[in-house]
Amino acid sequence: MCKKIYLDSPNVGVQEKEYVNNAIDAGYVSTAGPFVSEFEERFALYLGAKAAVSTQSGTAALHMALYELKIRAGDEVIVPAATFVATVNPVVYTGATPVFADVDRRTWNISPSEIKKNVNRKTKAIIPVHFYGNPCDMDEILEIAKEHNLYVIEDAAESLGAQYKGRHTGTFGIFGCFSFNGNKIITTGGGGMVVGNDTERLKHIKFLVNQAKDEKEEYYHPEIGFNKRMTNIESALGLAQMNRLSEFLRKKKLFNSIYRKELEGITGIRFQEEHEGARSSRWLTCIVFEEKIDVKKLQKRLEEKGIPTRRIFMPVVEFPPYRRYKKYDYKNCYEIYEKGLCLPSSTVNSESDIYYVCETLKQAIF
């Protein structure tokens, strides 16, 4: 019998069930209920941001951030080509044009020199993605943004708990967007959050996600709104998960250090490096092989031993709706995609599971 190892499965326990039951017992299963604001306040406090607005997903959080800034047709938004497609789709929802930049070979994050290369008078915003939880070079990015008067919206979907020079990711740009999908650091089943310090704008996002419902006059909607609210049940789950956040981060860090200790000496394997002053959330530990190997064959061999893996994201410019935006060869994005592999990082795993993955991987590649 093979061991059961988990790639990125959620870690949901007794306390989460209690909180969700409380929401159900109180009759607040939908968007009304006390857990929603409690979760938002707790989240903002944890990050050191002035306010947070919960949403149905990380994708919705990014969409609302762009919409609030009136990003629209004719505008350009710079994004990394190596990311999950959900970073880019919201740009298109607004009618704006995504402009793809290559990533840094060491950190796998959007490269500041690539951003500079793509800025022009149509550029309105940059969406740096803290890829796999690894903080971007925020000093450089903020400097470019200041020089060219651009908004920075951080895609912090994977980086809850990560810090750059002592500050949480998601608190550097005008908005930071998080995801609580089942595979993220904490989960609400599905959900997201927009955070920031501009309380007026965040108040407006809260109004927009709730069908732009007027506070005083019943069934009066002065603007076109959206239904992108988080439910009380989801927030209950999120609050219980917040109680366990430090446990999850500690485990992610431990797993990453085991992988590095066991695999770093092996010729031909390299890890994602942190920028100076950055501390990754270690959401997923991934490796890149120096030589081109048959990644699919390796995955199959590992799968036979009960080890699930996933490839690094295919560059977004490969997808039919985005092919026409492919301007360069995006060398580094393609390198990590072609030679990369994400290893089991779920906090449901034990330390010995991770040692087992390392041993099996060593046998599979030699």
Q: Are 188 and 237 in contact (CB under 8 A)?
A: yes
Binding mask 34-73 for ligand PLP (x = CB under 6 A): -----------------------xxx--------------
Q: What does the DSSP 8-state code read for residue 316?
A: G
CB-neighbour burial class of residue 70 (10 A; exposed 0-12, middle 13-18, buried 19+): exposed
> What residues numbered 167-186 form the site for ligand PLP, per CB under 6 A?
179, 181
> What residues numbered 302-331 form the site for ligand PLP, per CB under 6 A?
none
For tokens 């002065």, the residue is 222
Regarding 192 and contact with ligand PLP (CB under 6 A), the answer is yes
Regarding 155 and contact with ligand PLP (CB under 6 A), the answer is yes
Segment interacting with ligand PLP, rule: CB under 6 A, options 3-11, 152-160, 162-170, 295-303: 152-160
**292 a catalytic residue:** no
Regarding 158 and contact with ligand PLP (CB under 6 A), the answer is yes
**Spatial distance between the Cα atoms of 267 and 289, rounded to a whole number of angstroms:** 9
CB of 267 to ligand PLP, least distance (A): 31
Segment interacting with ligand PLP, rule: CB under 6 A, options 18-26, 79-87, 249-257, 337-345: 79-87
**Spatial distance between the Cα atoms of 195 and 9, rounded to a whole number of angstroms:** 25
- Number of Cβ within 10 Å of residue 113's Cβ equals 11
**Spatial distance between the Cα atoms of 193 and 57, rounded to a whole number of angstroms:** 8
Strands 163-164 and 286-289: unpaired
CB of 146 to ligand PLP, least distance (A): 24
CB of 131 to ligand PLP, least distance (A): 7
Q: According to CB under 6 A, which one of 43, 84, 151, 164 is a site residue for ligand PLP?
A: 84
Coil vs helix vs strand at 73: coil
Report residue 80 as tokens: 């990394």
Catalytic residues: 184
By CB under 6 A, name the binding residues for ligand PLP.
57-59, 83-84, 86-87, 129, 155, 157-158, 179, 181, 192
